[in-house]
Structure 1
Amino acid sequence: MVSSDNNQSTAVLFILLGFSDYPELEMPLFLLFLTIYAVAVVGNVGMIVIIKINPKLHTPMYFFLKHLSFVDFCYSTIATPLLLENLIVEDKSISVKGCITQFSIGITCVMAEMVMLAVMAYDRFVAICKPLLYTVSMSPKRCALLVTVAYAWGIISSIILTYSLLVLSFCETKIIDNFVCEYSVFLSASCSDKHFSEIMLFIFLNLSSLCTLIIILTSYLFIFITVLQMHSTSGRYKAFSTCASHMTAVTIFYGTILFLYCIPNTKNSWLVVKVGSVFYIVVIPMLNPLIYSLRNKDVKETFRKLKNLKIFSQ
């Protein structure tokens, strides 16, 4: 175990190579990722502020969107700074405890976001398929409970998966061909039996992905059937438009996860894995606020007012 030998835990380091094989690209990538991270922070914090101050947006859909933005902000902030640091410093080492801490917070956000996307799909299902019951079904207490479930699942998953890492032994400093503390980093660096850790990862990651995807796909199946039964063309367009942003976010989020899963485990695939991981860690938290704001008149109108007041200027 990591905690069984203090000398071991303090001496062992992970050296995250990142993109050091291409030193000429490190500074351009640093500037690119820094720009994307800044947009992600401004976008997610801006979304939270806009929803908070605009009474028109005090609805269940925007309540969930506010928490999705918060999760994206936390995940981007815990992962991206290490990536940026890795691109400009010569010492690319990180302690085992530091790496585990980053992973623990990051996996909390990932698991919470999965549940949050499923909750948002359920919200659209109730709004379109059962509009007369929407106020009762999505009451403030129910919404708060659903968000609590999302955070609770993230925390529970993080505790168990982090424990599955703490039982591993790390015997020596390891050079890792990665730029962030993912689960695979610990498995590749461990010198002890990894069977328990691999089972825990398989159970929780697949359980979360499968259950949330079932909820999302089932919700949109009923939405699609309900919309097809509408006689009004404008009603169909309005129903689909309220779901378009969420469907786009879900497609990008799960599409990236499936893409990373489907990459064959070969030496030649490391660059593709890194690019996919960068998209997952850096780009998605930036895209979500853009996706939800570009198609929403109320959000854009509020943003214009704030911009005129110079709240988001400079």
Structure 2
Amino acid sequence: MGAAIMNMLNWRVEIPNVKLNNGRDMPALGYGTWMGVNSQFVFETTEIPKMEDCLSYAIDIGYRHVDTAHLYRVEPEIGAVINKKIKEGVCSREDLFVTTKVWQDHHRPEAVVESCRASLRRMNLDYVDQLLMHWPMSISDEGVDEKIDYVETWRGFEKVLEKGLAKSIGVSNFTVDQLKRLLANCKTPPATNQVEINLTLGQKELVDFCQSQKIVVVAYSPFGRMVPSRETPNSPEPKLNNPTMVAIAKKHGKTVTQVTLRYLYQRGIVTIPKTVTKSRVLENASIFDFTLDKEDVAAIAKFDIGSRTVRPIFWQDFTNYPFDKVPLEKNMEIPPAFLKWKNGKNLNID
């Protein structure tokens, strides 16, 4: 066991890059830092130390892409790990691709700049490699629909780019129609669109459109409800023990989750899986040494039934909500934790 652990610690992964429409490189797989919420929509903070440890390990073994957001509360920890690794000589700042996101209550153009500066302060960085508009809706920290046009918000992102606070700008959770309208009314097109994509939610139309416009698609929740932490009684297949997926994994000497990430990679999609287990950090990045054949791809594609894992229905009546609406007996209130918060594992940092 000791030798196996030492071997894992000494491992190195080679993660290829994809080219953004501004000429910059983005690693095709990153480390996601969303810690999640419990059933009462309270943010989980107990495993933040494990996340810090795993992020440190990820950078040690060759990860260079880190995805976070103001909402995630962990920008201070992310910055501390990054600066420690730079100080140790493991990597330089230029080696890393750091993404963060602007929350809904900062959609006025001047507030976008303010949000970016605050994120940089929390991470102790001079710039981020990418700044994303987290959602197309604008909602105040009191829960009021501000109805700010995301095209207007984008002016703030272009200003962030001009000021050098971010090297790339993009969006998240945007639909085809929203992207078309943004593209028709911007000076700088978004470099990426970060959306939920997994085996049950393939989003082919959206992916095809983005790729036709040279917008890189980044998949969050790439495992969907496949993993036990997300599984529900009526979760659609595939699960981790799905016979089709197990057979494909066995054929290639890989795990079901590795097959999943490889499938998305072969679709030209960047993934940002999260984990607080070191062995899975290594496993997730060990997908670039095999190729799924046509039969594998065809079999996996059949799982796509348009089933979402992430559906924040408490926002569905707000202007520019991007998903289809679900019938409700009464309106759901926005959980307080999505309106106002402090940052860091002790929730004491502005």
TM-score interval (norm. to shorter): under 0.3
Q: Which has the larger radius of gyration?
A: 1
Pick 1 or 2: higher relative contact order, CA cutoff 8 A, min separation 6.
1
